[in-house]
Amino acid sequence: MAIVNKQKQVKEIIRCGKDPIYFMKKYVKIQHPTRGLISFDTYPFQEDCVGHFEENRFNVILKSRQLGISTLTASYALWMGIFQRDKNILVIATKLGVAMNFIRKVKTMLRSLPKWLVLPEVVADNKQTIEFSHGSIIKAIPTSDDAGRSEALSLLIVDEAAFVKNFDMLWMGLYPTLSTGGRAIVLSTPNGVGGQYYKLYTDGVQGENEFFPINLPWDVHPEHDQEWFDKETRNMSKRQIAQELLCDFVASGETFLTNDHLEWIREIIKDPRERQHEDRNLWVWEYPLTGHNYIVSADVARGDSKDYSTCHVIDIDVGEIVAEYRGKIPPDRFGELLDSLGRRYNNALLAPENNTFGYTTVMKLKELQYPNVYYAKNKAVY
């Protein structure tokens, strides 16, 4: 009988090591605020997240509150720490208390496991660290300028990344620590437009970085219906609702425009009639009209880096943007594009940037003899 039990245990260990969802659902227990210690019965959206963690090296999560994602990442970190050797797992949190709470979650899960399931011994155990005898370690630390810089990481978890101070500078130091094949899970509720977390997520959505974007608004939870939402939001402001539940970057931040104004802007946004140019980045909403006057404003970038060259065609008779371009294009070719666009829109008054890379664009317009370039008298005349 003992041999049979031993064989079952070995099979269970192997299965758990291969399948983190099975491990969580079958053996992990979590601390519920009102129900005490309960089994971690994962929901389908949580299981999908774990699937993404396994399939994608980099994941960025835009999430609502009360979805158990921090608990899920703690369970995933524990699974990796137990069943894989020599894994360096680092959690970065906004505050020391948040970092310590993450480790407390991991310890609660660890204590709930059958002793035969945890083959490595715990050789270090303190408020911020759990280390196993086979070389794996789970460490949680608060934000600092040099957080994690000297580490060679297997898994980096950044909790509430939108609220991490100077996350852009921090990320510059952290990213190289993943160069040996490390993985990253960056998660947060939104905190307005801008910042490193916002960039990681939005660039991930557009396919411009390696991050797989995961969007988890309040209603992905099967127990969150409209009645739940109405109850939760009864004493919340519009900004709080946008930040805590709707995963709305724009309405969650400190903005000059009110939420009503932003909603009005969203309602009047429409798709372009046509996408032109070789890169299809010239969007056209309205074609040129005889007798109308137009202005083309242009911002010039180098063309081969992360920044974009942009321009807007404005119909000044009706006060509307009728076309725009946003793309990575050399400054001289951008000049050719502006020349063509300006002539098409009734020889529009063309106002390009004339410093640094813009100088090349302006010289190209001069070479092409564009007839209507704006200039200021206290600047050089082109």
281 and 239 share one domain: no
CA distances from 99 to 35, 106, 143, 177 (A): 24, 11, 9, 20
What distance in Å separates the CA atoms of residue 203 and residue 186, rounded to the nearest whole number?
14
pLDDT at 144: 72
pTM over 0.85: no
pLDDT at 382: 45
pLDDT at 36: 86
pLDDT at 237: 82
* Residue-wise burial string across 228-255, b where 16 or more C-beta atoms lie within 10 A, e elsewhere: eeeebbeeeebbebbbbbbbbbbbbbee
CA distances from 226 to 69, 230, 231 (A): 21, 6, 9
- For 43, the domain range is 14-255
Residue 8 lies in a domain: no
Residue 304 lies in a domain: yes
237 and 283 share one domain: no
98 and 183 share one domain: yes
What distance in Å separates the CA atoms of residue 163 and residue 356, rounded to the nearest whole number?
34
pLDDT at 338: 95
Residue 264 lies in a domain: no
Phi first, then psi, for residue 337 (nearest 5°) are -65, -45
Residue 231 lies in a domain: yes
pLDDT at 1: 41
Number of domains comprising the chain: 2
334 torsion bin: left (phi>0), alpha (psi -120 to 50), beta (else): alpha
Q: What is the pLDDT along the chain (382 residues), one digit of tens a residue?
A: 455 588 899 999 999 999 999 999 999 999 887 888 899 999 999 999 999 999 999 999 999 988 999 999 999 999 999 999 999 999 998 888 889 999 999 999 999 999 999 999 999 989 899 999 999 999 999 887 556 566 789 999 999 999 888 888 888 888 888 888 899 999 999 888 888 999 999 999 999 999 999 999 999 999 999 998 889 888 888 778 888 888 887 666 665 666 666 667 777 788 899 999 988 999 999 999 999 999 999 999 876 666 889 999 999 999 999 999 999 999 999 999 999 999 999 999 999 987 778 888 999 999 999 999 998 766 554 4
CATH code where residue 292 lies: 3.30.420.240
- Boundary-marking domain end, from 185, 220, 255: 255
223 and 295 share one domain: no
219 and 328 share one domain: no
Residue 4 lies in a domain: no
120 and 250 share one domain: yes
162 and 99 share one domain: yes
What sign for the dihedral angle of Cα 352, 353, 354, 358? negative
Pair of tokens at residue 99: 């970092």
pLDDT at 55: 96
Residue 136 lies in a domain: yes
| R_g (Cα) of the chain, nearest Å | 27
Secondary structure string (H, E, C) spanning the chain:
CHHHHHHHHHHHHHHHHHCHHHHHHHHCEEEECCCEEEECCCCHHHHHHHHHHHHCCEEEEEECCCCCHHHHHHHHHHHHHHHCCCCEEEEEECCHHHHHHHHHHHHHHHHHCCHHHCCCCEEEECCCEEEECCCCEEEEEECCCCCCCCCCCCEEEEECHHHCCCHHHHHHHHHHHHCCCCEEEEEECCCCCCCHHHHHHHHHHCCCCCEEEEEECHHHCCCCCHHHHHHHCCCCCHHHHHHHCCCCHHHHCCCCCCHHHHHHHHHHCCCCCEEECCCCCEEECCCCCCCCCEEEEEECCCCCCCCCEEEEEEECCCCEEEEEEEECCCHHHHHHHHHHHHHHCCCCEEEECCCCHHHHHHHHHHHCCCCCECCCCCCCCC
pLDDT at 184: 95
250 and 283 share one domain: no
Pair of tokens at residue 294: 């137009």
Residue 7 lies in a domain: no
305 and 250 share one domain: no
Question: Where do we find the tokens 């300006």?
Answer: 342
Q: What pairs with residue 289 in β-bridges?
A: none
243 and 282 share one domain: no
The β-bridge relationship of strands 155-159 and 88-93 is parallel
Residue 93 lies in a domain: yes
Q: Are 365 and 308 in contact (CB under 8 A)?
A: no
- Boundary-marking domain end, from 197, 221, 255: 255
CATH code where residue 174 lies: 3.40.50.300
